Amino acid sequence: MDAVFFHDGKWLDQQPMLIGPMNHAFWMSSVVFDGARAMGGLVPDVEEHCARLITSAENMLLVPNMEAGEIAELCLDGVRKLSKDGVYYIRPMYYAREGFLLPEPDSTDFVLAIYDAPLPPEGPFKVCMSSRRRPARDMAPTTAKASCLYPNTALALTDAAKRGFDSAVVLDPNGNVAEFLSANLWIVKDGVAFTPAINGTFLNGVTRQRTIELLRADGIEVIEGTLTVADVMGADEIFSSGNHAKIRPVTQFEDR
């Protein structure tokens, strides 16, 4: 695997072994991360991803030891160590080493991984309705890109895969459409692009924000609002926006 790692002030060729059963991150899931992309030597929106990492860390009671710009420079430095022809995932993370229920803020640590991660291949992208929902703001740390939120996603993805689908549409606690399992959701109807308004139960994706900018710059009306399952079923187009796959058109929703 073509990869580099940064921890404790050093670049490494092998992933560092960082935590054990007494670490708060291992025991209590005090882990946040973000994901950027490097493609053909370009690293779009890396500072925005690093800024969100800082916000996620603070919302999980961690104390980041770097500014977003410093983390972004590390990401760029790491990408320069790898082949310019590669497609990479850039994953900076903060986690706590010490604590009981509460993480000890001074034990916050940082690690960065940059590694091969090709974009998903073009072709069918089939989605269904999810068997699970996003938690409300008073039920989980929904304002952080926190690792503890992802087991719910994994369970929903397993259910979707058993039905022969690649992903699923997730509802918010009120029964409105929130997003896909790991990407923001878009529909197009009569030439207008719609995406669910940010309501605190899912993240305002960096690629989502970039997509809004690009569509509006191209003269396409974008509406951020409340979407129902009926809206998605009746759409002219459905697509996802997210860092891992960027823009991906949906080819099937349920039996349509």
- Own/partner contacts of 218-224, CB < 8 Å, gap of 24 or more, are 220/191, 220/192, 220/193, 221/191, 221/192, 221/193, 222/192, 222/193, 222/194, 222/195, 223/192, 223/193, 223/194, 223/195, 224/194, 224/195, 224/196, 224/197, 224/198
Question: Three-state SS for 236?
Answer: coil
Whether pLDDT at 148 is above 90 = yes
* pLDDT, tens digit, 9 for 90 and up, residues 217-246: 999 999 999 999 999 999 999 999 999 999
Contact call for residues 14 and 72 (beta carbons, < 8 A): no
Residues ≥6 apart with Cβ < 8 Å to 161: none
Residue ranges covered by each domain of the chain: 3-116, 126-253
Q: Burial-class residue 234 by CB neighbours within 10 Å (0-12, 13-18, 19+).
A: exposed
Considering the domain 126-253 in this protein, what is its CATH number?
3.20.10.10
Q: What is the DSSP string of 72-132?
A: HHHHHHHHHTS-TT-EEEEEEEEEESSBSSSB-GGGEEEEEEEEE-PPPPSS--EEEEEEE
Beta bridge partners of 253: 127
- pTM as predicted: 0.94
Whether pLDDT at 104 is above 90 = yes
At residue 165, the pLDDT reads: 98
What would the mean pLDDT of 77-106 be, rounded to a whole number?
96
pLDDT band at 50 (very low <50, low <70, confident <90, very high): very high
Whether pLDDT at 190 is above 90 = yes
Whether pLDDT at 1 is above 80 = no
Question: Three-state SS for 254?
Answer: coil
Q: Residue holding tokens 């690093």?
A: 50
Whether pLDDT at 141 is above 90 = yes
At residue 155, the pLDDT reads: 97
CATH classification of 3-116, choosing from 3.30.470.10, 3.40.50.300, 3.30.450.20, 3.40.5.10? Answer: 3.30.470.10
pLDDT band at 40 (very low <50, low <70, confident <90, very high): confident
Percent of the chain's residues with pLDDT above 90: 97
At residue 197, the pLDDT reads: 98
